């Protein structure tokens, strides 16, 4: 995993996250607008997406649904992040197609590990061959 798309309408948090993940070796593209991200992500084809849930115009749940509807994003890890900690928010994230629902604040090292593990799992699935011969 080399590239990450970050989407958050909070410019300070977006800048901090961008720096954190770049220091960990990722090529980061930061979007302050979910609409701009939707427009550019199909061409950018990041290895993973980390998006806030609560944003103007469209929320992270809708963004995730739209990305999952694009052919290039079936194996892309999509993580949604929020300060809300509830079963209903987690359920909304999973129903929208997210791989993970992350509660803010989070550990950047743990996030890197989860992103990498999810990327590997989705892009190198275990295949079981029928028969033993």
Q: Could you report the per-residue pLDDT of 16-35, keeping only the tens digit for each?
A: 999 999 999 999 999 999 99
- Count of positions (residues) in the chain: 133
pLDDT band at 61 (very low <50, low <70, confident <90, very high): very high
Average pLDDT over residues 54-67: 96
Give me the pLDDT at residue 10, please.
96
**pLDDT exceeds cutoff 80 at 133:** no
CA 24, CA 85: separation in Å to the nearest integer? 27
For residue 120, give the H/E element and its range: helix 108-123
Per-residue pLDDT, 124: 79
Q: How far apart are CA 40 and CA 46, in angstroms?
A: 10
Strands (E), 8-72: 27-31, 48-52
- Give the pair of three-digit tokens for residue 21: 């993940």
pLDDT value of position 111: 93
Asked if the model's pLDDT at residue 128 lies above 80, the reply is no
């Amino acid at each position: 995993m080399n590239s990450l798309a970050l989407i958050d309408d909070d410019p300070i948090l977006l800048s901090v996250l961008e720096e954190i993940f770049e220091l960990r070796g990722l090529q980061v593209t930061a979007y302050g607008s979910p609409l701009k991200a939707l427009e550019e992500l199909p061409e950018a084809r990041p290895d993973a997406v980390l998006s806030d849930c609560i944003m103007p115009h469209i929320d992270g749940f809708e963004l995730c649904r739209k990305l999952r509807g694009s052919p290039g994003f079936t194996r892309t890890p999509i993580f949604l992040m929020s300060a809300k900690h509830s079963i209903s928010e987690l359920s909304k994230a999973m129903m929208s197609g997210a791989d993970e629902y992350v509660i803010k604040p989070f550990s950047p090292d743990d996030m890197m590990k989860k992103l990498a593990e999810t990327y590997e799992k989705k892009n190198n699935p275990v295949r079981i061959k029928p028969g033993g011969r």
